[in-house]
Each structure stands twice: as structure tokens, then as C-alpha cells.
Amino acid sequence: MLSSPECLTCNLNSMLKTMREHGLSEKETERIFLEIFRQTAKMDFSLTPVEIGRILGKIVTGEMGIEDLFREEKVRSNDELLSIYDDLKKIIEKSENKLLTALKLSVAGNTIDVGPGHEININETMERVLKHDFAIDKFDLLLEELKNAKTLLYIGDNCGETVLDKLCIEYINVPEIVYVVRSEPTLNDVTMKEAKEIGMDSVAKVIEGTDGPGAILNESTDEFKYYFKNADVIISKGQGNFEGLSDLKRKIYFLLIAKCDVIAKYIGVEKGSFIVTTNSQ
């Protein structure tokens, strides 16, 4: 999907929030914003929102000299979800459709996102996702395709959420499951480091994809491109990946929460809706 003016202002607000949270002085913040403005003046709206986020994020991390700005938050989110992992597994085991319940909990994890700056309450979101219908619900189609798949490409998003992805993968009966992480730290997204810390490599083959806050196919690793082309089923988690992949012809199942007005309007749902959709009819 292409960007709108709101996507640019959202990214700018996210960068400002990041600098404020890391205690930069007004002088340093102004200096970095001047560099951001120089770069944004060269942009146009043919870029996807995630491509804009990638450019601005690299400016901020480069100027601040901190490679992984959200490392502590990522560890905290993962630890929080790991602490209730067994309890969530019991919920799944008691449910009528275990895989469906696991997928729903995985969608709920998409709320753990520092980008849009919304309030995060993962426990409340998990309760809500189990009780309410999805605004767009193509779970049945996804479950049917998974039954016949030999290879699943599962594109990850945020930390915390990735723990719920791991739990979900335990219930997916596909011979080869490949889980995609970011190739460099960006926002609170999962990298190889965090994936291994939570044991994702015990349930899936973990590979690196893109160095931005969402999948950008032409900027991805060769390994990601290979599996993107050849996997029987692709599951894409979160808004950033949706922004980068939704216009591609390859069939993809998108699991996300519509956390901003632009995404909600683009998909045709209310903000805050739970969604399982595909870019192919």
C-alpha cells in the first residue's frame, strides 16, 4: 500500500516519541529533526509507510548512536508473555478448535507495538479476541490451506507477539515452518537474537528478512525471497508487514489489528478491528 500524508506525520511522531523516551535534550532533538526534514523533503508518496519508517528510523538510530533503542522493552515484552505461556497453552488445550484459538491469540499479540503510540493491554486484548468476531474472517480458508501445505512462511512482527507466534506454531501441523525476523533492530520488532532467546528455533527454522519495521521484498535477504516465492502458505503478522506486502500478487494471509485510521480505512473496517484477510480472492 502507498503512503498518505498521515503516514508521514505518524512516522514523525513515532521518531519524536522515541527521542523523548530516551531522554534527548531539546537541542539534540532539534538537530536530529532537521536531518529528518532534509530526508523527508526528498520523499514522495510512492513509498510504502514501512519504507518511510525504515528511512527515518535509520536516521534516528544513526544520530543517537544506539543500535537497538528498544532492547529492554523487547526483553520485557517477551518475558511477560513467556511467564503466562503455560496458562495460555491450557486455554488452547481446552478449546474446541485448538489451532483456531492459537491463531486468535497470535493476532492479539499484534497490539504490542511501540510505533503507533496506542495504549497496550495485552491481557485485555487476548480476552477480547477470544470472545469477539473478526471484522474480516478468513480463518477457515487459512486452516484449509494449512492442512495441505508442506511449507509455511510465517512473517513475524513485534516482540511479545512473537511469543504468541511460537505458541501458535506448536499447533500448526506443517512439515517445514520458516519464521521470519528483522535483519537489524528496528522499533520493538523481533530479530534473530530475541527469536533464539524465546526458543523460536525449537519450533521453526528462523531466517532474517528486512531491516525495516515491515517486510520490503526488494530489500529483503535472498533466503527470504526464496521462501516467499516457494512456500505453500504465507502468514504475515502486523501492520508493517501488511503495508509492505499487501499490493503484491503472491497470495498472503494477513493477521493483524487495525491500529490506525489509515489502515482501517484502506481495509474497510473500524479502527481496532481484528482481521484475518488475504490479498487474493
Which residue has cell 503455560?
86
What are the sequence ranges of the domains in the chain?
5-64, 71-278
The closest alpha carbon to 100, from 166, 21, 172, belongs to 172
Burial-class residue 9 by CB neighbours within 10 Å (0-12, 13-18, 19+): exposed
Per-residue pLDDT, 120: 59
Residue 115: predicted pLDDT: 58
User: 136-137 and 274-278: which strand pairing?
Assistant: parallel
Around Cβ 235, how many Cβ atoms within 10 Å?
28
Mean pLDDT value of segment 218-239: 96
pTM for this entry: 0.92
Higher-pLDDT residue of 9 and 149 is 149
CATH architecture of the domain 71-278 equals 3-Layer(aba) Sandwich (3.40)
| Cα gap 232→153, rounded to integer Å | 8
For residue 151, give the DSSP letter. E
Kind plus residue range of the DSSP H or E element containing 255: strand 253-257
221 has a pLDDT exceeding 90? yes
Radius of gyration for the chain, computed over Cα atoms and rounded to the nearest angstrom: 18
d(CA 55, CA 238): 19
Q: The C-alpha cell of 167 is what?
A: 505458541
Q: How many CB atoms lie within 10 A of CB 224?
A: 22
Kindly state the helix (H) or strand (E) to which residue 275 belongs, with its residue range: strand 274-278
Compute φ and ψ for 66, nearest 5 degrees. Answer: -120, 115
Per-residue cell: 280: 487474493
Question: d(Cα 145, Cα 143) in Å, to the nearest integer?
Answer: 6
Strand partners, 178: 153, 205
pLDDT tens figures, 83-138? 999 999 999 999 999 999 999 899 888 877 665 455 556 777 777 778 778 899 99
